[in-house]
């Protein structure tokens, strides 16, 4: 199985948009589909909602051509295959810039260069065995954000065998881009869900979008009110790589080990879904005080849940 097909997207659910499928419920229209392998939806109230959702779907498809690990023609796949990418798309460069900012703020806990380690764990655990310590140690030479060089002319992975995964930020980034496109068209009061949530305005008819949080099978009391804000959630065991469900998908770039189950759910709100996405991923590896300091370094960002 691939990483994204294993991931459980149970951490966030928008109670205000619980429709059985695409179409209208009351005054709300909801499109459902996928983005980078995760379930996706767009909820809005507009007389031309179907056309608007179709345009948003096309934008998601375009961005998958930049960020997908599994489409061989994507910009990211070509970068990982060749170790360099000439003339990178603007969206990739912008996302890499955000990666660098979150990497620095989290003292390296967020590091997209862990892809070779993830591949090692996935391949070994698929066969029912854990990677040997010397295999993990050998991969650490391929890890390190400071070995990624990028500018408008090219992106370069400066060590042999390096590869990037943007799964900890790209879903949020896509939500941001779709929301920006809809805002340019004059829309308000839209909820974009690409596995991470981005609210453009509030709920049609007034009020914020009420979002419930869920850690595993446990519903967390209360709701997060989203208005012109994003929410992203991660969990060390939200995706598991082994049949026993004990080895999670978040890998510590400094040790090569998977994240301890320190937290069951890490949720962050921020004006940018990409930033919230990356911070929630890093939070799986961080102690409470260090994580709070990192989140506080981004204007408007806050910890919605950590426990």
Range of the domain at 102: 3-306
pTM score above 0.85: yes
Residue 75 CB contacts under 8 Å (≥ 6 apart), including other chains: 65, 66, 67, 85, 88, 89, 92
CATH number at residue 286: 3.10.520.10
Residue 132 CB contacts under 8 Å (≥ 6 apart), including other chains: none
**What CA–CA distance (Å, rounded) separates 182 from 179?**
5
Q: What is the pLDDT along the chain (307 residues), one digit of tens a residue?
A: 233 332 333 333 333 333 333 444 446 899 999 999 889 999 999 999 999 999 999 999 999 999 999 999 999 999 999 999 999 999 999 999 999 999 999 999 999 999 999 999 988 988 888 899 999 999 999 999 999 999 999 999 999 999 999 999 999 999 999 999 999 989 999 999 999 999 999 999 899 999 999 877 778 888 899 999 999 999 877 676 666 667 667 899 999 998 877 899 999 999 999 999 999 999 999 999 999 999 999 999 999 999 9
Query: Which of 273, 102, 252, 112 shows the shortest CA–CA distance to 178?
Result: 273
Would you tell me how many other CB atoms lie within 10 Å of the CB of residue 128? 9
**What CA–CA distance (Å, rounded) separates 52 from 185?**
9
Q: Give the DSSP H or E segment for 41.
A: strand 38-44
Phi, psi of 124 (to 5 degrees): -70, -45
Q: Please say whether the beta carbons of 239 and 8 come within 8 A.
A: yes
Total of domains in the chain? 1
Q: What Å distances lie between residue 175 and 85, 182, 195, 199, 265, CA to CA?
A: 24, 11, 9, 9, 21
């Amino acid at each position: 199985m691939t990483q994204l097909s294993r991931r459980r997207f149970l951490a966030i659910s928008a109670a205000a948009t619980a429709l059985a499928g695409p179409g209208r419920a009351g005054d709300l229209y909801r499109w459902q589909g996928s983005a980078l392998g995760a379930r996706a939806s767009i909820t809005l109230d507009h007389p031309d909602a179907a056309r608007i959702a179709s345009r948003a779907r096309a934008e998601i498809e375009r961005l998958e051509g930049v960020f997908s690990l599994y489409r061989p023609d994507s910009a990211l796949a070509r970068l990982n295959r060749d170790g360099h990418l000439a003339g990178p798309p603007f969206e990739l460069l912008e996302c890499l810039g955000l990666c660098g900012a979150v990497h620095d703020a989290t003292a390296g806990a967020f590091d997209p260069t862990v892809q070779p380690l993830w591949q090692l764990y996935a391949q070994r655990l698929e066969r029912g065995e854990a990677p040997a310590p010397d295999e993990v140690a050998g991969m650490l030479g391929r890890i390190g954000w400071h070995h990624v060089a990028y500018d408008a002319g090219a992106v370069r992975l400066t060590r042999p065998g390096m590869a990037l995964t943007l799964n900890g930020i790209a879903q949020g980034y896509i939500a941001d881009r779709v929301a920006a496109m809809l805002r340019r068209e004059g829309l308000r009061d839209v909820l974009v869900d690409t596995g991470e949530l981005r609210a453009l305005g509030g709920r049609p008819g007034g009020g914020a979008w009420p979002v419930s949080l869920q850690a595993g099978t446990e519903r967390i009391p209360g709701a997060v009110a989203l208005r012109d804000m994003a929410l992203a959630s991660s969990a060390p065991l939200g995706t598991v790589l082994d049949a026993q469900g004990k080895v999670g998908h978040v890998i510590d770039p400094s040790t090569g080990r998977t994240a301890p189950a320190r937290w069951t759910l890490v949720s962050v709100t921020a004006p940018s879904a990409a930033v919230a996405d990356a911070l929630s991923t890093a939070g799986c590896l961080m102690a409470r005080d260090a994580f709070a300091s990192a989140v506080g370094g981004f204007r408007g960002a806050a910890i919605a849940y950590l426990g």
